Structure formats: C-alpha cells, structure tokens
Amino acid sequence: MTDPFAYYRRSPLQRGLDSQGANWAALADEVAYAERFAGDDALPAIAIADLSPLPRLGFKGRGTIAAMQTRGIVLDATPNRCFPQPDGSLCLVLAPSEVLLLSPLDGSGERLEQLNASWNIDDGERTYPLPRRDSHAWLAVAGTATPEMFAKLCAIDMRLHKFPNLSIAQTSVARMNAILTRVDLGATPVFHLLVDSAAAQYFCDCIVDAADEFGGGFVGLGAFQKLADG
C-alpha cells in the first residue's frame, strides 16, 4: 500500500481520510490520493470523493476570457457558469474577469501546465494565473439525495429543478466561503465544491456529518472515476 507521507504533495484532507481507512495511490506527478475505501464496492447514497490531489488552475484579470479563448478553452463571459471542455476538464467562469480550470478526473494535468507555462507578464494580456491547487480543497459529492443534504448546510436552493446542470453558486456552505458547481455524470447529480484548503478538514467533517443522515460517506477516487465511466 502506498504511504502518503512518501510524497511531498498530499491532500489537505489526508489525515481525516487516513482515519477513515483510505487506501492511497499516487498520480503521475507524485501526488498521493485516496484511491479506495473499504465500502467502495457498494456506493453509498451520497458519495463524497476528495479530488484535492487533482490539478487545477485559475486565471484572473480583465483580459482573462479573451486570453482563455485564444488558448482554445471553450467558454464565454457568462459569470457563474461551468463550461465542460472536450478533454473532460471543467472551466468555471466565476466572474467576467476570473476563471477556474479543473482537470479531468483521470488527473492529467498537462493541459493546465501548458496554460500556466504559456502565460508571460510581458505579453500584457491583462490576465494572470492563480495557483488554485494550493489555495482550495476540491470535493465532489454525488447522489440523488445531495440537494437535500445541501439544504442543511447552505441557503441556496440546490434542488435539481432550481439549480440546473452547469450552474455555479459562490456562497457560504457550512459557514465557509465555497464555490459550488453542478456537473452531472449521466443521470447522477454531482456537485463539485471548492473551499479554503486551510479549513478543509473542518469542512469535510461538516459534509460527512450532513451526509450521514442519508447513508453517505467517502469513496475513493477510483470508485468515483467508475461512476464517471458509467
């Protein structure tokens, strides 16, 4: 079994996941992730996956939308809208001047590395990259009861007919500032959550506590990827 302490990069939730019996594996760029838990064979009604080890990157500045379009990212300037990309990654337009890019679930980060490397301050594009892999923890919550669970944590109506697929809400969840977006996998509603990594363990405890009522709990990234594969 992989020892997460053998890697420089670990999830901010590593200790909490360890205490719940996570089995660890590593991505190609030497980041430890929770690959599976003991109960993964029967997915819980609300499945929570820690995607924090996966690559992500932000860009901010008045020229951000144009700079992203120049680089082949599919998006427009509609704030609070998520744009799935052909390679499986997600582009979250948080404001007309800010985007957040999330890698595909397989953890491939080459595209984001290229985007980061392609930026040069001397080009005067009026955009600049933000290291979101360090600032934010990333969780995915899947299951039909998820909107009911969010009703306990958040004032925004997350019911599926009120919060359509690919919507984004930037709001307070469990009293923490959070970015929340819905990106369904097939017929399964899936909500991605990004919160301050420094308080990720507190947030994780709140989510697990809220999901417990519905029989929810953590699943490994492997089980979540299978959900994505149908």
Binding site for other proteins (CB under 8 A): 79-80, 94-95, 155-156, 169-172, 177-179
Minimum distance of other proteins from residue 92's CB (angstroms): 12
Q: Are 219 and 37 in contact (CB under 8 A)?
A: yes
Q: How far apart are CA 172 and CA 67, in angstroms?
A: 30
Pseudo-torsion of CA 1, 211, 84, 184, nearest 10°? 110
Minimum distance of other proteins from residue 157's CB (angstroms): 10
Q: How far apart are CA 217 and CA 213, in angstroms?
A: 10
Tell me whether residue 22 or residue 92 sits nearer to other proteins (CB atom).
Answer: 92
Expressed in angstroms, the distance from the first to the final Cα of the chain is 27
Tell me whether residue 149 or residue 178 sits nearer to other proteins (CB atom).
Answer: 178
**Using CA of residue 83, residue 86, residue 90, residue 92, what is the dihedral sign?**
negative
Tell me whether residue 111 or residue 192 sits nearer to other proteins (CB atom).
Answer: 192
Q: How far apart are CA 97 and CA 75, in angstroms?
A: 12
Q: Two tokens at 223?
A: 């089980």
User: Residue 219 half-sphere exposure, CB side, CA atoms within 13 Å?
Assistant: 23
Minimum distance of other proteins from residue 131's CB (angstroms): 17
Tell me whether residue 145 or residue 166 sits nearer to other proteins (CB atom).
Answer: 166
Count of CB atoms situated within 10 Å of the CB of 196: 15
Tell me whether residue 7 or residue 150 sits nearer to other proteins (CB atom).
Answer: 150
Minimum distance of other proteins from residue 155's CB (angstroms): 5
Minimum distance of other proteins from residue 141's CB (angstroms): 18
